[in-house]
Amino acid sequence: MQMRSSIQRKFLGLAFLLTLSTILSAETPRNIASDVNYIGSDACKKCHQEQHGSWLQTTHSRSMASLKPSEAQSNGSFHHAPSNSDYEIFLRDGKLHHRETLLDNEGKQLATTEHQILYTIGSGTHGKGYLYRDQKTLGQSPISWYKETGNWNMSPGYDMPFHPGFGRKLNSECFFCHVGQIDRQAGNPNDFSILEEVIGCERCHGPGELHADAHQPSLLNESLSLAGPDLTIANPATLPRELSEAICQQCHLQTAGKASRAGKNEWDFRPGQRLTDYRIDYQYRLGDDSMRVVGHVEQLHQSACYQQTANLTCITCHDPHRTIEPSRLTAHYRSICLHCHEDESCGKSLDQRLSIAENNCSQCHMPKKGSEVPHTAFSHHRIGIHREQTGATQAIAGLTPVLNTSSISAEDLERCMALAKFQVLQEDPGSPSFRSYGMDAARSLIGLKNAGKDDPDSNTVLALLARDQGQPGIAKDVAEEVIATEASPSRARIESVRLLAQLAYQRREYEQAIRLYQQLTQYAQEPVDFFYLGISQQNQGDSANAVESLKRTVALAPAYVDAHQILSAILIKQGRTDEGAKHADLAKRHAARLQRLGETGR
């Protein structure tokens, strides 16, 4: 986070206000401009101590934190039967460690992976996840702590026979809803530094540099005082509803797929802007042309309470600066309902309301429903009369934008829809509902490319689709175009390099494959990249480096059977028979374990 000198900032603020005042609307916050810097929540609290103190009581202030072992849950262990693995949590030398031990079919230790935990993620309301660093990248521990049960258990999405263990590496997109700011200067989504760990002031109010400068106690800044609202900072309470909601929606949309606008990154979004200027979020369109409603945003927008008012929005009920004590929640939410409704609106007597729901409006009109997060439930945000669902489930008929996209051109909408269809297809390639998505996306992206409306992200997806559809020559040409124009190690470049490396390997052009896979292993830490790097090195006669690459493969993915087998063959050929026999045995035992897990998991 670069900081200018005080004098530079003052003149920046003056020049900015003078030049932009004529081109921005009277309601537009001035700090949406890309050259206004973030200053961090610690700078904000110097003048806003009361607001900072109330924010500290909210879950946003605990979204992520550097681990303090003295405050962490520690010293636990459990066996996970579905994956036949043991897990341990312990302190060593004052540092928290998580350990995973894979067991073979006889219950003997097969492989152990251990990492020091550096961060907790999650507010702790329902539980906490844990993060570690492996060289340049951050990864997720398969172990989480759950408040409701008071126990350690598998992290969400890991309670199954086959899961990634410590193999799940987290990119900058994964942290968008958990940290305040990151440093993306290098452009690599896998390699970044965290500038502010928590969801702080500026994620809701925008960068604070201009606001801080305008309120410096100096004659220069006193001359900048303007009548009316303070537009040096975004205030969600005074923004138009669409823009106010966008601040919450940046993290609280639950969607089937999304696509960034061309040349945009969701991290560039600033409060006071439309979220759809940076990305478009999609939900499934059902057979009756309705939207599948699962997330809070879609639910709220379908509510009659929302549709029949102009000012009901997220912060009507959720004050980001105020945490309500559990004993007062019922009265608090009921008082909000009574701003518009009379006591008699319910249609039931007080005695009935007390008997059915303890006079709690939300218990009937926003009932709790299960979530994908273990041991938790969330309130249904379609405020209304809820009845049991009957009838057959509607089939998925396509994708539809969740938010209003009327201001976006037809070409941009076609591009984003193609990218979203590709994403959905990758997540569930076997679904008959998505059978046509690959061809649909390819057709749209080819048309845009022929019209000169392509970009690195759309070209990368087009190259991957061409590969999948049996057109390696086209895939190669388009991917080479991406890496020729995209200098930074962006997602588009990384995926294009990986595609070219795979194609070179398939053509047995091992020297080129080595060069490309070496790039990839600098950009990311994926075991498959190290695996094919090692095979290519071996095929070029470089056994020493092949062994190192394959050892890195099994360090990242201990159950990578093929890597153990090839490593064994190379080591035995080198005369390292004991070491080679060890990997041969590991390959056999891992294969037997995986086969059994597959049989029991059916």
Residues 30-44: tens digit of each pLDDT: 999 999 999 999 999
CA dihedral 187→189→295→278, nearest 10 degrees, is 10
pLDDT higher than 90, residue 539: yes
pLDDT higher than 80, residue 588: yes
What are the strands of the beta sheet with 257-260, ordered from one edge? 257-260, 279-286, 396-401
User: What was the pLDDT predicted at 297?
Assistant: 87
pLDDT higher than 50, residue 337: yes
Averaged pLDDT for residues 204-228 = 74
SS3 5: coil
In whole angstroms, give the CA distance from residue 580 to residue 575: 9
Cβ atoms within 10 Å, residue 301: 18
Q: Which amino acid is at 58?
A: T
Q: Left if phi > 0, otherwise alpha if psi is -120 to 50, otherwise beta: which for 84?
A: left
Task: Please answer whether residues 276 and 408 qualify as being in contact, where contact means their C-beta atoms are separated by less than 8 angstroms.
Answer: yes
pLDDT higher than 80, residue 51: yes
Averaged pLDDT for residues 293-319 = 87
Q: Long-range contacts for 110-115 (Cβ within 8 Å, ≥24 apart)?
A: 110/558, 110/586, 110/589, 110/590, 110/593, 111/558, 111/559, 111/586, 111/590, 113/165, 113/166, 113/558, 115/139, 115/141, 115/166
Q: Which amino acid is at 223?
A: S
Give CA angle at 243 (242, 249), nearest 5°.
Answer: 85
For tokens 């806003």, name the residue.
48
Does domain 408-600 match CATH 1.25.40.10?
yes
Averaged pLDDT for residues 443-459 = 97
Residues in contact with 194: Cβ distance below 8 Å, sequence separation at least 6, in sequence order: 64, 175, 179, 181, 182, 183
pLDDT higher than 50, residue 238: yes
Name the band, by pLDDT with cuts 50, 70 and 90, for residue 6.
very low
Axis crossing angle, helix 527-539 with helix 510-523, rounded to the nearest 10:
150
Query: Phi, psi (5° rounding) for residue 560?
Result: -75, 90
pLDDT higher than 60, residue 113: yes
Residue 220: closest CA among 7, 456, 51, 416: 7
In whole angstroms, give the CA distance from residue 542 to residue 574: 12
Burial of 529 (0-12, 13-18, 19+ CB in 10 A): buried
Cβ atoms within 10 Å, residue 410: 7
pLDDT higher than 70, residue 115: yes
Averaged pLDDT for residues 209-231 = 71
SS3 101: strand
Q: Is the model more confident about 245 or about 292?
A: 245
Q: Is the model more confident about 561 or about 428?
A: 561
In whole angstroms, give the CA distance from residue 116 to residue 29: 43
CA within 13 Å, CB half, 257: 21
CA dihedral 135→136→141→145, nearest 10 degrees, is 120
Q: Is the pTM of this model over 0.85?
A: yes
pLDDT higher than 60, residue 9: no
In this structure, the chain runs to a length of 602
Residues in contact with 7: Cβ distance below 8 Å, sequence separation at least 6, in sequence order: none
Averaged pLDDT for residues 494-501 = 98
Averaged pLDDT for residues 102-112 = 97
In whole angstroms, give the CA distance from residue 364 to residue 489: 51
Of all residues in the chain, the percent with pLDDT exceeding 70 is 91
Going from N- to C-terminal start, the domains of the chain cover: 39-205, 296-379, 408-600
Axis crossing angle, helix 491-506 with helix 510-523, rounded to the nearest 10:
150
Give me the chain's average pLDDT, please: 88
Strand partners, 196: 181
The first and second tokens of residue 556, run together, are: 């990242």
CA dihedral 102→107→109→113, nearest 10 degrees, is 20
